[in-house]
Homo-oligomer: A and B are copies of this chain.
Amino acid sequence: MAFLTDEKLVIVGAGGMIGSNMVQSALMMNLTSNICLYDVFPPEIGPLGVAEEMRQSGFVDANITATADPAVAFKDAKYIISSGGAPRKEGMTREDLLAGNCKIAEGLGKDIQKYCPDVKHVVIIFNPADLTGLVTLLYSGLKPGQVTTLAALDSSRLQSALAKKFNVMQNKVTGAHTFGGHGEQMAVFGSAVKIDGKPLNDLIGTAEFPEEEWEQMKKDVIQGGSAIIKLRGRSSFQSPALMSVKMIAAVMGGEPFEYPAGTYVKTDKYDHIMMAMDTTLDKNGCSFKVPQGTAEEVAKLDASYEHLCKMRDELVTLNIVPEISKWSEINPNL
C-alpha cells in the first residue's frame, strides 16, 4: 500500500466520535503509515479501543499508536488535527464554548512549541474554531500558514442546500463559499455561485427562487450545525472529521482541497484574526486571497471580522491571550 507520507500524524481527541472518524478516514485515504491517537482521557477508555478497532478493520500496514502522554504523542509529529475540545450541545452557540476551549487551545499550542516545533501543519476544528485556531497559532510559535481551521462545512452546507433546491447534483453547484467567521456571523457569498453553469444571481428574485427564500437559505446555512443535531440527535461528527482530514491530505501533497479554510489574516483591512478566506492548501501550507464579492457581501465579511475581533478581545479580557501589541513576544511570526 502506498502512503502519501511516512511522517507522523497525530489525532488529538482520538477517543471521541470526531477523532475516531478522523483516524479511520486518514487510514482509508492512505495518508500516512504513522498515526498516533492522542487524548487527554486515559487511552484505556478511548484511543486504545479506537486503535484496536482500526487494527481489526484490516489496516495492517500502518503503525497505529495510542497515548495519553503529550510528550509521547507530539514527539516527531509533522501533522496534527485536533478535535480535542469540549463538544457543542444543542442550543449552545459556538461562542458559548469560547473560554473553555480557548484554554485548551493554549495548552495545545504550548505542547506544540515544547514537543514538536518542527511540525508542518496543524488543523484545528474544535469550536469556536476561529478563536481556538488563533490561540493555538499564537502559543505554538508556528507561522501563519501552518495553522488552519475547519470552515468548509458552511460552504458545503450552502452547496448542498442549493443542489437540493434546484434539484441538481451537488457537483453542479460551483462557487458556493462562505467566508469570515465559522459562526453565526459568517458571510455567505452568493455572487460567484453557478447552478449547472447558470449564475445564481440570475435566479434570485425569480418566481422559482424568491429573495426571501434565498435569505432563509442563508440563515439555514448559518444554523446548519444545529440542524444536524436535530436530524441525528447528536452533533455532526462524520463531516467535520472527513473535511479536516481532507485538509491535512492537501497539505501532505494529496488531493487539492476545494473549500475555504480558516487562516490567519493580515491585510490592510483585516489583521490579527483567523477566519475563512479564499484559500489554497498545498505542501507550502495555507495561502489566501481576500474573496471578491458585491458591496453587500464585503460588508457582511467586514461585520463577521468585527464580530471575531470582539471575541478575540474578549480573550484578552479573560487573560487567555495578551494584548495584540504583545503577541509578537510570544510568537515572532505574528
Contact = CB atoms under 8 A, between A and B. Distances in A.
A160 B58 CA distance: 9
A20 B55 contact: no
Interface stretch (A82-90, A229-237, A314-322): A229-237
B242 A171 contact: no
A55 B165 CA distance: 14
Interface stretch (A22-30, A113-121, A131-139, A201-209): A22-30
A169 B61 contact: yes
B231 A52 contact: yes
Interface in A10-53: 15, 20-21, 24-25, 28-29, 44-46, 48-50, 52-53
DSSP majority for the A interface? helix
Interface stretch (A95-103, A149-157, A191-199): A149-157
Interface string A199-241: 0000000000000000000000000100110111100101100
Nearest to A259: B58
Interface string A56-91: 111111010000000000000000000000000000
A27 to B, nearest CB: 9
B170 A57 contact: no
A16 B282 CA distance: 35
Contact of A48 (B59, B153, B163, B231): B231
Interface in A251-280: 258-259
Contacts of A55: 156, 159-160, 163, 170
A52 B238 contact: no
A56 B171 contact: no
A49 B159 contact: no
A177 interface: no
A160 B52 contact: yes
Interface string A322-334: 0000000000000
B56 A232 contact: no
A239 B56 contact: yes
Contacts of A182: none
B157 A239 contact: no
Given A156-B57, A159-B60, A243-B57, A52 B228 contact: yes
Contacts of A21: 21, 24, 238
A251 B258 CA distance: 32
A97 to B, nearest CB: 20
A312 interface: no
A311 interface: no
Given A28-B25, A169-B63, A57 B232 contact: no
A124 B170 CA distance: 31
Contacts of A60: 159, 163, 169-171, 173
A54 interface: yes
Contacts of A160: 52, 55-56
Contact of A57 (B50, B58, B233, B239): B239
A51 to B, nearest CB: 9
